[in-house]
């Protein structure tokens, strides 16, 4: 690499050109990362709020300005599209400022280099998006461009082309397969229908790719031999069918990329690559590690990985935290002679000292967790922001309803009133909104689950949970909520009404539906949709001119044109959906509604990739008219009725500031908010065995069980099994709540039910600092004869 800007001039130039760095230059550890030799692989262990994204971006810019690389020679990958957008935004914003300044003030050598630099050309994105782009654009002349199938379409083809005829015949799941899969279901019950079968098999099939499973060895393992043989056959049939049509699911996309990379079929890509920088490396799986190592090996690239073993959350997607923990040894083994270096970032620029102290004490709380962390241990995280006086808070009540009412009152006081005063160590402290535009968008509720209802059991209706009660309380105060995952798509009234209207347009009175072989539950939900539409249409929703909703649906059902001379021979079902939106304003205009509508429209468009009539309804084509309707019912509306379609809230680039968001802790990874409310115990009134998996597991998770089952058939199995399945299950919960506790900037509030804080409580909970050995530091020894009613060493200011 050729130096064009002296390395020692890079950070002074940053400070001179970019206002942010004039007052807040990189700290010594960040500077060390930026200055680290480009040709020596670097592992950055970055604690929460320590500026890892900043360091990654600055290191990429340094490679351009100091080492003479071009942006198109530098690959930066991260875990989510939002994180990729943030990295790209910073690269462009800071890159333009630096390039413009240096074009005016740099040396002649530097100016000649900058004449070739276009900061828009950095290669950024998730690894999946990079793989897809490369396989499409830079393939060999003999390679065809792949068609990437998203979840719903891939699962449908997996069912029809892989599972049917192997593990599923005549409407029945092979008993051996059902028994084997019971170990991998959430409640350890065998799948009983297609929907449950698909949801259970998909993670297993993805593991075949992510864990680079030896399928022959998997088939011959000692237990469940018949089931393994059938599943292997089903997987191979599925893969063969996809490849016959040049299709790939996400797991096979990365595998195909690695296969072509290893076979020197992506030389047009690798020949120009000079640097690889990877964000969130702690959530890498074995297949992805193999891709990164192969890129490094083939390109002799500058290699930097950034992550935090304590923030690894995606084991259920195949992530193996040990790959990050042991990165330097693994790289040296894969590429002999390589000596990667490690730098720790431990200065926190996000949170107040009170919050940093709290999450430090949490991550260090259980001695049994320490061997699962990086060695040597990273330094204790240090706060760099000044205290605002607010302690870490706790709000615990006897019932979820009361908790929701008091929480809504607090939020209303903070964002619509004069604030709320709490007691800090130095005296009373007022928690108020930012006077410069502070609003509900500055707060978030994080939880293990944001479902607004618990599932019904034995015919009992679903029971509302804290998110439901809190929504009701906030709405009663005219405060909007954003929680698009709060209910299953099929249970949302607007969606029921819209789908019901579409069903009546396509199949009036359910004539075709009645004659089809659909599951009873599916037919019941389709009928629920139709009834929801009928009730809504009876209200005569606007607009009513030139025609109303009922008139439109009736005309459509009888195929009578209202604005054209003749009915078209083909009508896209997606177009029908959008025409109906005139009568569904929430789905058009409300952020939650838009997310829900996107899920429906995505199901329609994805079905076109496998449905024989391509999401079209025909007219004037004889028997094909009815068959096209049958196809729509089977391929679009039955999956919606069976809850096989997930919402994707990432389509919403920014939630309106006047909305209070609720999200799972997994969704909050990488985000930060001034006020973070963490639900640690709103579901726990007693020590019920069915909720222990969320607080203090007494058996390994289904994910850890699957890892152990596959261990002897993959290279990473023994690495994972250095910790038992139950230990890994505990560790996943510790990491989950560590991420939650490190999201806030100014205020952290834990909420739950009072029974969890009683001194003699039997409700053990990792989130409230219970250790795996059953000890609880919040309950200190007492001197009186009678034990205290509540835990006597709670490190929270209870409000």
Taking residue 363's Cβ as centre, other Cβ atoms within 10 Å add up to 22
Letter string b/e over residues 223-239, b meaning 16 or more CB atoms within 10 A of that residue's CB: ebeebbbbbbbbbebbb
423: β partners: 428
Q: Which helix (H) or strand (E) holds 304?
A: strand 302-307
Which tens digits make up the pLDDT trace of 408-423? 999 999 999 999 999 9
482: β partners: 661
Q: What is the C-alpha to C-alpha distance for residues 451 and 487, in angstroms, rounded to an integer? A: 6
> Does the bond joining 376 to the residue before it have cis omega, within 30 degrees of 0?
yes
Q: What is residue 186's predicted lDDT score, i.e. its pLDDT?
A: 86
Which tens digits make up the pLDDT trace of 616-674? 999 999 999 999 999 999 999 999 998 888 888 777 778 899 999 999 999 998 899 99
The two three-digit tokens of residue 35, written as one number: 């200055």
Is the pLDDT at 459 greater than 80? The verdict is no
Is the pLDDT at 426 greater than 90? The verdict is no
Check residue 507 and give left, alpha or beta (phi > 0: left; psi -120 to 50: alpha): beta
Which tens digits make up the pLDDT trace of 739-778? 999 999 999 999 999 999 999 999 999 999 999 999 999 9
Taking residue 200's Cβ as centre, other Cβ atoms within 10 Å add up to 23
Per-residue pLDDT, averaged over 506-514, amounts to 95
- The torsion angles phi and psi of 107, rounded to 5 degrees, stand at -70, 170
Q: Which helix (H) or strand (E) holds 73?
A: none
* CA proximity to 395, closest of 767, 749, 781: 749
Q: Are 195 and 156 in contact (CB under 8 A)?
A: no
Q: What is the C-alpha to C-alpha distance for residues 644 and 195, in angstroms, rounded to an integer? A: 7
CA quadruple 395, 397, 400, 402: dihedral sign = negative
> Does the bond joining 415 to the residue before it have cis omega, within 30 degrees of 0?
no
Is 49 marked as a binding-site residue? yes
Is 541 marked as a binding-site residue? no
Which tens digits make up the pLDDT trace of 580-591? 999 999 999 999
Q: Are 20 and 41 in contact (CB under 8 A)?
A: no
The two three-digit tokens of residue 206, written as one number: 């993805």
Q: Which CATH class is domain 393-482+656-798?
A: alpha beta
- Residue-wise DSSP of 354-380: HHHHHHHHHHTS-GGGGGGS-SSPPPP
β pairing state of 570-572 and 616-618? antiparallel
Is the pLDDT at 456 greater than 90? The verdict is no
The two three-digit tokens of residue 374, written as one number: 């990086």
Which of helix, strand or coil describes residue 173? strand
- The torsion angles phi and psi of 151, rounded to 5 degrees, stand at -50, -55
Q: Are 304 and 341 in contact (CB under 8 A)?
A: no
Which of helix, strand or coil describes residue 507? coil
Taking residue 789's Cβ as centre, other Cβ atoms within 10 Å add up to 11
Which of helix, strand or coil describes residue 223? coil
H/E/C letters for each residue in 663-695?
EECCCCCCCCEEEEEEEEECCCCCCCHHHHHHC
Is 51 marked as a binding-site residue? yes
Which of helix, strand or coil describes residue 388? coil
How do the domains of the chain map onto residue ranges?
7-141+255-345, 147-245, 393-482+656-798, 489-651
Q: What is the C-alpha to C-alpha distance for residues 699 and 724, in angstroms, rounded to an integer? A: 11
Q: What angle do CA 668, 674, 680 make, to 5 degrees?
A: 55
Which of helix, strand or coil describes residue 431? strand
pTM for this one? 0.94
Q: What is the C-alpha to C-alpha distance for residues 210 and 706, in angstroms, rounded to an integer? A: 13
Q: Are 66 and 36 in contact (CB under 8 A)?
A: no
The two three-digit tokens of residue 472, written as one number: 């009701």
CA quadruple 774, 779, 784, 788: dihedral sign = negative
* CA proximity to 610, closest of 266, 244, 323, 282: 244
Is 670 marked as a binding-site residue? no
Q: What is residue 535's predicted lDDT score, i.e. its pLDDT?
A: 97
Q: What is the C-alpha to C-alpha distance for residues 372 and 321, in angstroms, rounded to an integer? A: 9
Q: What is the C-alpha to C-alpha distance for residues 726 and 692, in angstroms, rounded to an integer? A: 13
Q: What is residue 236's predicted lDDT score, i.e. its pLDDT?
A: 96
Q: Are 649 and 667 in contact (CB under 8 A)?
A: yes
Q: What is 7-141+255-345's CATH topology?
A: Rossmann fold (3.40.50)
Q: What is the C-alpha to C-alpha distance for residues 609 and 621, in angstroms, rounded to an integer? A: 22
Per-residue pLDDT, averaged over 504-509, amounts to 96
Longest Cα–Cα distance of the chain, Å, equals 91
Radius of gyration for the alpha carbons in the chain, expressed in angstroms and rounded: 28
Q: What is the average pLDDT value for the chain, to the nearest integer?
A: 94
Per-residue pLDDT, averaged over 46-51, amounts to 97
Q: What is the C-alpha to C-alpha distance for residues 569 and 617, in angstroms, rounded to an integer? A: 8
Q: What is the C-alpha to C-alpha distance for residues 294 and 300, in angstroms, rounded to an integer? A: 10
Which of helix, strand or coil describes residue 374? coil
β pairing state of 744-753 and 393-397? parallel
Q: Which helix (H) or strand (E) holds 648?
A: none
Q: What is the C-alpha to C-alpha distance for residues 70 and 111, in angstroms, rounded to an integer? A: 13
Is 593 marked as a binding-site residue? no
> Can 7-141+255-345 and 393-482+656-798 be said to share one CATH topology?
yes
Which of helix, strand or coil describes residue 721? coil
Which tens digits make up the pLDDT trace of 428-451? 999 999 999 999 999 999 999 999
The two three-digit tokens of residue 745, written as one number: 């900037």
Q: What is the C-alpha to C-alpha distance for residues 593 and 578, in angstroms, rounded to an integer? A: 13
Band the pLDDT of 3: cuts 50, 70, 90: low
Residue corresponding to tokens 């997607």: 317
Burial class (CB in 10 A: 0-12, 13-18, 19+), 61: buried
Q: What is the C-alpha to C-alpha distance for residues 253 and 85, in angstroms, rounded to an integer? A: 22
Band the pLDDT of 492: cuts 50, 70, 90: very high
**Terminal C-alpha separation, the chain:** 59
- Residue-wise DSSP of 543-566: P-SS--HHHHHHHHHTT--SSSSS
Q: Are 696 and 766 in contact (CB under 8 A)?
A: yes
Taking residue 654's Cβ as centre, other Cβ atoms within 10 Å add up to 7
Is 52 marked as a binding-site residue? yes
Which tens digits make up the pLDDT trace of 306-347? 999 999 999 988 999 999 999 999 999 999 999 999 999 999
Q: What is the C-alpha to C-alpha distance for residues 578 and 571, in angstroms, rounded to an integer? A: 12
Q: For 112-225, where are the E strands, in sequence order?
A: 123-126, 147-148, 168-169, 172-173
Q: What is the C-alpha to C-alpha distance for residues 417 and 405, in angstroms, rounded to an integer? A: 16
Q: What is the C-alpha to C-alpha distance for residues 270 and 263, in angstroms, rounded to an integer? A: 12
Q: For 174-265, where are the E strands, in sequence order?
A: 247-248
Burial class (CB in 10 A: 0-12, 13-18, 19+), 349: middle
* CA proximity to 640, closest of 499, 493, 510: 499
């Amino acid at each position: 690499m050729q130096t064009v800007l002296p390395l020692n001039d890079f950070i002074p130039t940053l400070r001179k050109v970019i206002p942010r760095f004039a007052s807040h230059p990189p700290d010594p550890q960040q500077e060390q990362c930026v200055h680290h030799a480009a040709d020596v692989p670097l592992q950055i262990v970055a604690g929460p709020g320590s500026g890892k994204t900043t360091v990654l971006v600055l290191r990429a810019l340094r490679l351009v300005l100091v080492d003479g690389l071009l942006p198109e020679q530098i690959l930066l990958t991260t875990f989510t599209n939002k994180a990729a957008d943030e990295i790209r935004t910073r690269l462009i914003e800071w890159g333009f400022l630096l390039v413009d300044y240096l074009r005016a003030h740099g040396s002649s050598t530097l100016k000649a280099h900058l004449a070739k630099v276009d900061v828009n050309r950095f290669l950024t994105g998730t690894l999946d998006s990079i793989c897809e782009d490369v396989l499409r654009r830079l393939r060999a002349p003999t390679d065809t461009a792949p068609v990437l199938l998203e979840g719903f379409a891939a699962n449908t083809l997996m069912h029809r082309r892989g599972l049917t005829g192997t593990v599923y015949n005549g409407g029945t799941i092979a008993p051996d397969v059902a028994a084997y899969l019971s170990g991998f279901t959430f409640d350890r019950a065998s799948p009983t229908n297609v929907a449950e079968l698909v949801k259970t098999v998909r993670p297993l099939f993805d593991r075949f790719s992510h864990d680079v499973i030896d399928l022959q060895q998997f088939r011959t393992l000692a237990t469940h031999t018949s089931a393994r043989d059938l599943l292997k056959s089903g997987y191979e049939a599925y893969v063969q069918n996809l490849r016959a049509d040049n299709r790939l699911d996400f797991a096979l996309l990365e595998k195909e990329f690695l296969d072509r990379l290893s076979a020197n079929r992506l030389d047009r890509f690798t020949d120009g690559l000079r640097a690889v920088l990877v964000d969130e490396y702690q959530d890498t799986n074995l297949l992805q590690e193999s891709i990164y190592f192969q890129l490094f090996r083939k390109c002799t690239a500058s290699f930097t990985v950034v992550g935090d073993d304590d923030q690894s959350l995606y084991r259920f997607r195949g992530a193996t935290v040990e790959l990050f923990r042991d990165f330097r040894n693994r790289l040296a083994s894969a590429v002999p002679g390589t000596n990667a270096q490690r730098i720790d970032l431990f200065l926190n620029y996000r949170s107040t000292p009170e919050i940093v102290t709290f999450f430090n004490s949490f991550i260090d709380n259980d001695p049994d967790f320490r061997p699962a962390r990086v060695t040597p241990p990273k330094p204790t995280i240090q706060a760099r922001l000044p205290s605002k006086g607010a302690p870490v808070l706790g709000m615990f009540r006897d019932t979820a309803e009361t908790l929701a009412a008091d929480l809504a009152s607090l939020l209303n006081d903070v964002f619509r009133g004069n604030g709320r005063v709490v007691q800090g160590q130095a005296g009373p402290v007022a928690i108020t909104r930012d006077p410069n535009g502070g609003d509900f968008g500055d707060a978030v509720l994080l939880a293990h689950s944001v479902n607004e209802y618990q599932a019904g059991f034995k015919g009992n209706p679903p029971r509302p949970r804290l998110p439901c009660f809190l929504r009701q309380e906030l709405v009663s105060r005219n405060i909007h909520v954003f929680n698009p995952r709060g209910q299953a798509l099929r249970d949302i009234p607007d969606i029921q009404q819209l789908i019901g209207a579409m069903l009546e347009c396509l199949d009036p009175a359910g004539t075709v539906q009645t004659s089809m072989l659909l599951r009873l539950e599916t037919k019941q939900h389709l009928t629920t949709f139709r009834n929801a539409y009928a009730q809504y249409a009876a209200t005569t929703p606007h607009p009513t001119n030139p025609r109303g909703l009922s008139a439109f649906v009736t005309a459509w059902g009888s195929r009578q044109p209202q604005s054209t001379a003749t009915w078209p021979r083909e009508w896209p079902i997606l177009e029908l959906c959008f025409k109906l939106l005139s009568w569904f304003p929430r789905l058009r205009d409300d952020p939650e509604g838009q997310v829900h509508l996107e899920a429906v429209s995505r199901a329609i468009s994805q079905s076109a990739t496998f449905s024989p009539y391509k999401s079209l309804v025909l007219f004037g084509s004889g028997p094909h008219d009815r068959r096209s309707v049958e196809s729509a019912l089977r391929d679009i509306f039955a999956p919606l009725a069976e809850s096989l379609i997930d919402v994707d809230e990432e389509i919403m680039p920014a939630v309106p500031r006047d909305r209070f968001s609720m999200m799972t802790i997994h969704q909050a990874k990488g985000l930060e908010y001034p006020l973070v409310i963490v639900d640690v115990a709103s579901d726990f009134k007693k020590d019920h065995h069915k909720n222990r998996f969320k607080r203090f597991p007494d058996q390994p998770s289904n994910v850890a069980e699957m890892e152990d089952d596959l261990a002897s058939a993959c290279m990473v199995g023994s690495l994972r099994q250095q910790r038992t399945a139950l230990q890994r299950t505990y560790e996943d919960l510790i990491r989950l709540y560590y991420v939650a506790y490190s999201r806030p900037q100014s205020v952290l509030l834990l909420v739950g039910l009072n029974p969890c804080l009683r001194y003699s409580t039997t409700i053990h909970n990792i989130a409230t600092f219970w250790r795996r050995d059953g000890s609880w530091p919040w309950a200190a020894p007492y001197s009186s004869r009678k034990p205290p009613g509540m835990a006597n060493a709670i490190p929270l200011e209870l409000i």
